[in-house]
Structure 1
């Protein structure tokens, strides 16, 4: 178990490098990875099950006790990010599938790796976890409706089918994870350190499968869509922080909302795009899985060197790493 814990910590620490390395291998030698696309939904379910194992009732307490910052953050996430994605897709004149995939990236809930980034950035960790949890629970309703409104002009959107997909790959696995933690708390606590390793492996397999299926598209549109994903992320980080400033929240909350708004659950985006739009639409979400794990640590490192001068700082308790983008 100690060896697995060490490997898990290393996998979490070097997650971005692992994703980039596997993506390059899948690009130049795609054949071994083509068949893995059939397991994307199952793999994401495994990641979400791992998230459920780490959730506690206290993660939702902040939603009820101090709802305003959580509501501001989640509203910014589900309003600003889809609109930014829509405008980028429109003004950059992206092909239909890539445009729909970018809007999908903007419409999915927050990525759980953001919790670790917020901790490292000396942000409000409780707010970050509450935002991730609430946005994930709202996703079955909001994500299909947002896509129907914004992406329908490029590709047909079936909101009912998408609702069922999100329930299947997110809500059910998370619920099972929460229940298992409640029934067998001691066992789950012992295995908690291995959960990030499983999540990292699952995300790496998903990335390799989508890259292998889109070698030609990456060759022709790679720079364009990478630019779109990078701009989407950077604008999200900026607008999330700006929204918190406008609402006069303290610095630790500003950092938490900025990172939460800017980092999406790209794994869910890959699964939904593959199932409902086609493999090319999954490409923005695959690129996001790489880029978010580059921009996030850079911003977290920058903020970690800046004192949180307003409000109360977070408790110095290291979170369980949830490397499920």
Structure 2
């Protein structure tokens, strides 16, 4: 007994709690106890921590298991398409790589910091977006570079260079601006092993692809035919499947955060392309630098946030990388749909023009045949006329030569002098010069 209360008896109380969001809270409740005689009561206040964590489903395991295989397959195709001569040129003249380094590690962290302050993000969401802005480029940028006919050699070099630079650029930003703005006491975890794995996922499959292209040149021709359809399929697979798997995360953010988070990659596209254009890069490299600047390796951001916080704070912080990964390339999806519609429209127009041209050719053939027939008939008529003229001229040549009797040259014996004169030289008959035509 304690304070007159019999502690030998226990009772069970059950609550049914339905969670809507990933977060944690405390449920406070009050216990009322009665003395054995029922005359007085005893109150005790209790508190229980309730934590809602990320769901663990089979579909999540399937999605996460497919990602490495798809990324490896894409990287092998990219390695097949690389050209050593272009890679050597980029290494000898690294201006495009330097432009990408400045825009990616100089602009993106500052853009992320500005967005979180302008739109007043909660601390965990703000840190999540800032971590995304500090991450290197990934294989997704290589996919979009291939789809939009960019410089794939430059894209591979920029991805490798940005991942190498992340070993010292990410700690620099985390322990300067990141710690001052978001964290003061928490030590941020830098996933160096994951960075090494990211390098391996870039170098090893690309090396395998280059080996295949060197010893089996015909494979490159085949890859050139299937690479774009394959990339488009992978892009839509990640978008549709990934959105379905992580749909519950959209319920955790407000509309303002959902609309402002994609500003980070979108401004990266614009500013990266602008700086490349200012530095007089060609259009293919402008597209490549813009894509490499705006698309970050959000997988690194997931690792940083998951290992730097306990549950459920780590899951809350990873909401921002997911939003950025889902919404960053929506303009590209729209452009793909527009290009597809334009391609279909142009193909239909070409078919229609081809049919019209075939009809015109048929009518031209019919007209030419009619013209040829008329020409042949006119030629036959001309030949007949020529034959008639020839016959008439031959008949004229067979006529007797006219004879002229001149009285002035007659002698006394009335001798007549016959003079043959050609018909063309026959003079006109007059009274002064009487001549008789026989």
Q: CA deviation at 1:67?
A: 0.4
More helix by share: 1
- Structure 2 counterparts to residues 12-91 of structure 1, below 5 A: 31=55, 33=57, 36=60, 49-50=72-73, 53=76, 54-55=78-79, 58=84, 60-91=87-118
Q: Which has the larger radius of gyration?
A: 2
Quote the residue 1:164 is aligned against.
193
Give the secondary structure class of the aligned counterpart of 2:261.
helix
Q: How many residues align?
A: 268
As a proportion of its length, which structure holds more strand?
Answer: 2
Q: Which residue does 1:149 correspond to in 2?
A: 176
In the alignment, structure 1 residue 237 sits paired with structure 2 residue 237: no
Alpha-carbon RMSD:
4.0
Q: For 2:171 and 2:120, locate their aligned partners in 1 and report how far apart those are by CA, in whole Å.
A: 23
Structure 1's unaligned 5+ residue stretches are 1-29, 306-325
Q: How does 1:242-281 map to 2 (within 5 A)?
A: 242-277=274-309, 278-281=314-317
Q: Residues 45, 220 of structure 1: CA spacing in aligned structure 2 closer, same or farther, 3 A cutoff? A: closer
Matches within 5 A, 1:119-198: 119-152=146-179, 153-155=181-183, 156-158=186-188, 161-167=190-196, 169-178=197-206
Aligned counterparts of 1:121 and 1:292: Cα–Cα separation in 2 = 16
Offset at residue 229 of structure 1 (A) = 1.9
Residues 139 and 61 of structure 1: CA distance in aligned 2, closer, same or farther (over 3 Å): farther
- 2:253 matches 1:221: yes
Which one of 131, 145, 163 corresponds to residue 104 of structure 1?
A: 131
State TM-score, norm by structure 2: 0.50
Larger RCO (CA under 8 A, 6+ residues apart): 1
Residues 239 and 326 in structure 2, CA contact (< 8 A), matched pair in contact too: no
Does the CA-based 8 Å contact 2:71-2:139 persist in structure 1? no
Task: Sort the Cα spacing of 1:246 and 1:199 in 2 relative to 1 into closer, same or farther, 3 A.
Answer: closer
- Counterparts of 1:145 and 1:203 in 2: how far apart (Å)? 32
* Whole-angstrom distance in 1 between the partners of 2:318 and 2:63: 14
Give the direction of change, closer, same or farther, for the CA distance of 1:63–1:208 in structure 2 (3 Å limit): farther
Paired with 1:154 and 1:207, the residues of 2 have a C-alpha distance of: 28
